[in-house]
Amino acid sequence: MEVTVKEWYVKEGDKVSQFDSICEVQSDKASVTITSRYDGVIRKLYYDVEDTALVGSPLVDIETDRGQEGSPEEDVVETPAVSHQHTHQEMKAQKAQATPAVRRLAMENNIKLSEVVGTGKDGRILKEDILNFLAKQTGAILPYEGEQQVVQPAVRRTTDTTFKPDKAPAASYPVAAGSRPVFTGKDRTEPLKGIQKAMVKTMTAALKIPPFGYCDEVDVTQLVSLQKELKVLAQSRGVRLSYMPFFIKAASLGLFHFPILNASIDEGCQSITYKASHNIGLAMDTPQGLVVPNVKRVQTLSIFDIAVELNRLQSLGASGQLGTADLTGGTFTLSNIGTIGGTYANPVILPPEVVIGALGKIQVLPRFNTQGDIIQAHVLSVSWSADHRIIDGATMCRFSNLWRSYLENPASMALDLK
Amino acid sequence: MITRTVRHMCLGTRSHNRWLQLRFHSTSPAIFEDVGKAGFIIKSSSTNVFENLALEDWIHDNVDLQKRSILYLWRNSSAVVIGRHQNPWQECNLRLMRQMGMPLARRRSGGGTVFHDLGNINMTFFTSKKKYDRHRNLSVVTSALKNLRPGLDVQSTERFDILLNGQYKISGTAAKLGRTSAYHHCTLLCSADRSVLSPVLKSSFQGIKSNATPSVPSPVKNLFDEDPTLDSETIMTALACQYNREFGFDSPVHEVDPGDEDCWPGIQKMAEELRTWEWVYGRTPKFSVCTDFHVHVGSSNAKVTFNLDIKHGIIENCSMDMPTEWLPKNVSDEFSSFLKGCKYCPNEMAALVAAFLRATHLGTESSSRMYCLCENVIANM
């Protein structure tokens, strides 16, 4: 009877314990996991992946303390060997006793129960035993955490400054998304590959651009109440409306007056190309890394249209399905760091563009009105970075002022909407 | 040991478990705990393919099957499930599945690719390794069907398929054997959507060379097509009865929730693992892609030959051949080197291409050609 070796879990030189999985073989639509009968070191694998093995012939050599012992291939498929009685009994004696909750704690921390000394009844492993084991490994006393709060990665929320001023911001500390970190105490080196390599290249190219920064504050009190109203209307049309569509449209209106901010400079710095289309990108943090999907031809879109596009890009981004068409062709970028936190930033210009704007969080702050009274204002901080080779401070400042005026007085956008 | 703790976990902590206790008053809520019983039938209340597969794994890993056997009945909403050692690019139309939002799952047992939807019943027979007998399990299925409809021509074959009228496959089998226990699972086509089944199980990718287990396509038919009075619920009840009859058990059908972490501790993590790209795609045995395509940009066109070696779902080697006047060799070489180490996945590729195009200074013409080339490469993922 023949089987095909499909996968090895060990290689020559590996240490194995009794009952560790050694390999996976396939026979006749059945997948069989073959486990080790001994504690020892793997000395020889008799087959490669995809080789055909005969049942009964040697599979692997394991060197135990008692000396070299050939391990005949475990029974496969139809013929349960009598010797299994023996191994079965051994298993009962050796299987670590622990409640499911303790097993889960061990699993989460990648701990083998067989390595933990149980101090409970009959050698049962208790929660304290796992914690002690961990403490010994890391040299620290670990507080026992309850249910791990998993923070959703910022993919969905990057484009939405839904900071609600009436909610007192809790003193929440950032929790890294994902599972509990495993402490190994060892350095780890990996080569950069794929997307990381591409990112390095992009950022190295970005460094060639001499940037200058310009920051400002925008009073978005009126925008906040407008968005609140329009949100309901958009909802009735099945679309989520955040602040981003307003920021994007205002930027596009500004670009009509300052087209040099929607341009690109060639490699030799010999010519500038003024791009006709305002393809405004949104920096998004996804599992693949930083990607910048963009909304095409914003100059032809209404705020509602922009919201629809954003919804589409956000759901694609969340499910990791953004395509090249959406990720390329951007001419101007906005990065909404405010959803994660922060006010001012030093964003890096993404070539071949020449400007990038980072939007901080909207904070409720005291400000003076024209009568000199203190009022509550919703304040957004913005940080622009621009390519100083072709853009000067005055241009950036004027563009920012125009953009700001549209947002501080949203009704003025209606005058210039195309 | 573990079974005692299952009862401790199930009792009292969640209100629906109390309800379970009341509903099945005659049997213990810790369904596997009842010492007198040697056989148990459970039915999943979930139609999530990953949760259901995770429960299979959980039972296989945690339940002592030396003295008890279990029949597990489950159905999934539309999904494609490939065997442990198969190549998804070879087996199904990934592009169509992505468009339809249909998930792809890789199970831990061997065998071929199947399409699941609510019109397909899955059943898993858990036994000790000694009691592992696929033919006997399949006789449970054929007898159950014949008891329901005596005229029905259903027969199991040597290859562990079940054929309707001697030619149409209505059931396929796969199995997994561990150290001391085993499970045999099979499908049963009751009323699956064949208009979706066919296109989804046709690979859309060219040029794949692989040693992965290939599926053997067969003509299929639904039991519903043969007899419209046969629906999934009726059949599942009949299967449960026949299982009891065949093995001399008297278990009622217990409904279980495979998402219940209290009942099955660690199961959420198992379901999560089954969802990861690393498991679904990364477990594909080594394969290579050799293909060529014609790229048209404006008035220019070129033939590009493409060779990729992929291991663990990651591109290990990449080489591209195209006329040097069409795209500068240093650009295509650099692009090839960037592809190395990238997942063979259209989304990663899209992000990589976007970053590459940003960082590489190309004229408008070259940019469009590069973009077009990338689109073709991604289309084959």
> Are residues B245 and B348 located together in one domain of the fold?
no
Q: Does A392 participate in catalysis according to the annotation?
A: yes
Q: Which residues of chain B have a CB within 8 Å of the CB of A88?
A: 66, 180
Q: Which domain holds residue B192?
A: 3-280
Exposed, middle or buried by CB within 10 Å (0-12, 13-18, 19+), for B40? buried
* Residue A237 burial (C-beta neighbours within 10 Å; 0-12, 13-18, 19+): exposed
Position with higher pLDDT, A410 vs A287: A410
DSSP secondary structure letters along B67-86: S-EEEEEE--SSEEEE-TT-
Measured in degrees and rounded to the nearest 5, phi and psi for residue B183 equal: -140, 150
Q: What is the pLDDT of residue B19?
A: 33
Is there a contact between A31 and B355 if contact means CB atoms under 8 Å apart? no
Structure letter (DSSP) for residue A204: H
- Is the model's pTM score more than 0.90? no
Check whether residue B104 and residue B246 sit in a common domain.
yes
For testing contact with chain A, the best of B352, B364, B365 (most A CBs within 10 A): B352
- B85 plus B175 within the same structural domain: yes
Say whether both B263 and B365 belong to one domain. no
Residue of A284, A328, A332 to mutate when probing chain B, most B C-beta within 10 A:
A328
The predicted pLDDT at position A155 comes to 33
> Which residue among B242, B265, B280 closes a domain?
B280
The distance of A104 to chain B (nearest Cα, Å) reads 6
Predicted pLDDT at B98: 87
Provide the mean pLDDT of chain B.
Answer: 85
Residue of A nearest to B175 (CA): A30
Mean pLDDT confidence for A291-309: 93
The residue that leads in pLDDT, B134 or B358, is B134
Q: Which of A59-68, A386-395, B289-298 bottoms out in mean pLDDT, i.e. has the lowest? A: A59-68
Give yes or no: residues B18 and B90 share one domain. Answer: yes
pLDDT digits (tens, 9 = 90+) for A331-372: 999 999 888 888 888 889 988 899 999 999 999 999 998 899
* Same domain (yes/no): B148, B9: yes
Confidence of residue A78 (pLDDT cuts 50, 70, 90): very low
Query: Which of B222, B247, B280 marks a domain boundary?
Result: B280
Task: Please indicate whether, in this complex, the C-beta atoms of B265 and A202 are within 8 angstroms of each other.
Answer: no
**Closest Cα in chain A to B58:** A100
Instruction: Give yes or no: residues B265 and B311 share one domain.
Output: no
Structure confidence by residue, pLDDT tens digits, B154-184: 999 998 999 999 999 999 999 999 888 899 9
Lowest mean pLDDT among A151-160, B56-65, B155-164, B183-192: A151-160
Q: Do residue B312 and residue B260 come from a single domain?
A: no
At residue B320's C-alpha, the angle toward residues B315 and B321, to 5°, is 165
**What's the CA angle centered on A233, arms A231 and A239, to 5 degrees?**
70
How close B229 gets to chain A, by Cα (Å)?
32
If pLDDT is split at 50, 70 and 90, which confidence band does A266 have? Answer: confident
CB contact under 8 A, A104 and B285: no
Note whether B73 and B163 are same-domain residues: yes
Q: How far apart are CA B352 and CA B371, in angstroms?
A: 12
Residues of A in contact with B347 (CB under 8 A): 288, 320-322
Average pLDDT over residues A172-181: 51
CATH class of the domain defined by A2-95:
mainly beta
Q: What percent of chain B lies above the pLDDT cut of 90? A: 47
CA geometry: angle B7, B12, B15, nearest 5 deg: 125
Mean model confidence pLDDT for chain A: 78
Burial status of residue B110 (CB atoms within 10 A of its CB: 0-12, 13-18, 19 or more): buried
pLDDT-derived band at A230, boundaries 50, 70, 90: very high
- Residue A100 sits at the chain B interface (C-beta within 8 Å): yes
Residue B85, both tokens: 């050692």
| pLDDT recorded at residue A135 | 58
Cβ contacts below 8 Å, chain A against chain B, sum to 163
Is residue A139 pLDDT above 80, yes or no?
A: no
Q: Residues B235-249: what's their mean pLDDT?
A: 93
pLDDT score recorded for residue A82: 29
- Predicted confidence (pLDDT) at residue B21 exceeds the cutoff of 90: no
User: What total of structural domains would you count in chain B?
Assistant: 2
Instruction: Report the C-alpha gap between B152 and A154 in whole angstroms.
Output: 56
| pLDDT above 70 as % of chain A | 78
Q: How confident is the model at residue B8 (pLDDT cuts 50, 70, 90)?
A: very low
- The pLDDT of A223-252, averaged and rounded, is 93
Name the residue in chain B with its Cα closest to that of A329.
Answer: B354
Domain CATH for B145: 3.30.930.10
* pLDDT beyond 50 at A152: no
Task: Judge whether residue B92 has pLDDT over 50.
Answer: yes
**For the domain with range A196-415, which CATH number is right: 3.40.50.620, 3.40.50.2000, 3.40.930.10, 3.30.559.10?**
3.30.559.10
Catalytic annotation, pick one of A20, A75, A388, A416: A388
pLDDT top residue among A315 and B279: B279
Instruction: Return d(Cα B184, Cα B109) in angstroms, integer.
Output: 9
Q: Which pLDDT belongs to residue A91?
A: 30
CA-to-CA distance for B356 and B327, rounded, in angstroms?
Answer: 15
pLDDT of residue B16 exceeding 70, the answer is no
Residue B372: its pLDDT value, please? 86
pLDDT at A161: 38
What are the respective helix, strand and coil percentages of chain A, to the nearest 5? 30, 25, 45
- Domain-wise residue ranges, chain A: 2-95, 196-415
The pLDDT assigned to A96 comes to 60
Q: Active site includes A84?
A: no
Same-domain pairing of B315 and B234: no
Residue A294 is predicted with a pLDDT of 94
Q: What is the pLDDT of residue A134?
A: 64
* DSSP 8-state class, residue A98: B
Q: What is the mean pLDDT of residues A141-157?
A: 34
Q: Which of B248, B280, B312 is the last residue of a domain?
A: B280
B68 and B155 housed in the same domain:
yes
B322 and B294 inside one domain: yes
- pLDDT band for position B373 (cuts 50, 70, 90): confident
Identify which of A327, A317, A316, A324 has the alpha carbon closest to the alpha carbon of residue A292: A327
Which CATH number fits the domain that encloses residue B316? 3.30.390.50
